Chain A
């Protein structure tokens, strides 16, 4: 059985930017242990020399002109409406520190 201690879950939650109560932390740790135990069965597959499949597509290097497509432009007001806060045409956020 995998064991996820509090230091590890705190580190992961810090990386994922998620705030949880101590009760929720306990629950998610136990859940992750179960899932990690389940996915660990991949270790039994011999993958020596197998090139990783890094995506779902056969397409490579798609280019397009970096031009504004006015038909697909979204409205400034709509964008501003979905902001946390705005000042003039800018998104406004609380201090970084």
Chain B
């Protein structure tokens, strides 16, 4: 899709201003219903950027593939000229003070930020129902959630309010909403994309990447945001070793896909299972080798995640002291001392799910419990990672469902914590072990709800994984 828009721009079938205006009117028309955006960028700035691209084209200058292409970003990425709320009341008044590296890179390449998308508060949730502001609706069925936490980004791409949108994924927050909305969601290897300027949730798990309409688009955007950044010491340079991969042809006939049996057991919705099995058969019929494998540690990935993630959350969110990131108490003269600011800002500013994870993280890190919970989880984390490493000696990629269920109804799981947490059961493993994974829409249920196929690759195999995804996308049709 991005390439098509790019061709239209350089062939002068459409101007960048028309393109930007087109998306802005789509947003105006549709977002009343969908609620994907928390805020929009300044219209004049958007159109000015587009005009500059048009001038370049007019002068016969070459333009970058993303030049003049509008996009949206999840509201946990800093972007000058916008607020960054992370879906939280505590950041309601927080103006971005710089551009996140991903935003800066996209802007440098001429992409145009349309606005910031809704999300579960601090990226904690699987439905956007934990947003302090409103719930985004699934464009495929307005009574259902779009998934989360990057639900606003997924819904924006699905309803054509943006050709692509950035999301962040800590336990499945890009892939699960992509699956629920019927778009592509890519989670790269840990460190492949700089996290500088992302409101941190769990720093050893967080990654940024795009939600797109096609795997090719995911590749285009990923390429433009990936790479080492001096501002994020965990970031890596992938392109160095990608050139070799870029030049090798991907052949599905030479590829072995593992199907981990633990991902197809109880807890997987029958409809999802049936369609996944059909998709896998289709891939096999094209000459790929399908092999049943076992990831014995996978049942422990989610409980492991619910110790490591809240531990990191409790440390990362300590910075929200009510003093430095926009105050929500400004109009309340009743604050007597410093302690009061902390307790009142955090008590009022954080929603229920964030508070739960903060206290849970405090608990697992507190003295007397550290070894039993946090250290144990870190040991299990190693075993889960070794499990993945071992299976990738046998197979090239894994094929699994992205979500155990179809998109659920708004309100259906808000009172059932663990049921909501189980939404991530098939996606957290990739975050725990740092490996890349992508969700592709592969089928639709009888009531027209999208179903996602997850392809997981070995650590740092991002570019090969994207090639495999493009090939599988063609097979699914």
| Chain A contact residues, CB within 8 Å of chain B | 9, 12-13, 15-20, 24, 27-28, 31-32, 34-36, 38-43, 45, 47, 50-57, 59, 62, 64, 69, 72, 74-75, 78-79, 81-85, 91, 93-97
Contacts and interface: CB of A to CB of B under 8 A. Distances in A.
A81 to B, nearest CB: 6
Interface of B: 93-95, 97-98, 190-191, 203-205, 230-231, 233-234, 236, 297, 300, 303-304, 306-307, 314, 318, 321-327, 329-330, 335-344, 346-348, 350, 352, 355-356, 358-360, 362-363, 366, 372-373, 375-383, 385, 417-418, 421, 431, 434
B378 A52 contact: yes
A83 B329 CA distance: 11
A42 B301 CA distance: 9
B343 A84 contact: no
Contacts of A42: 300, 303-304, 307, 376-377, 380
A56 B323 contact: no
Contacts of A54: 378
Contact of B383 (A32, A45, A62, A79): A45
Contacts of B375: 52
Contacts of A27: 352
Contact of B231 (A17, A53, A72, A82): A72
Contacts, number: 174
A59 B236 contact: yes
B320 to A, nearest CB: 10
Contacts of B233: 59, 62, 64
Nearest to B93: A82
A18 B326 CA distance: 17
B356 A31 contact: yes
Contacts of A35: 306, 356, 360, 417-418
B112 to A, nearest CB: 21
Contacts of B356: 28, 31-32, 35
B306 A15 contact: no
A91 B380 contact: no
B383 A84 contact: no
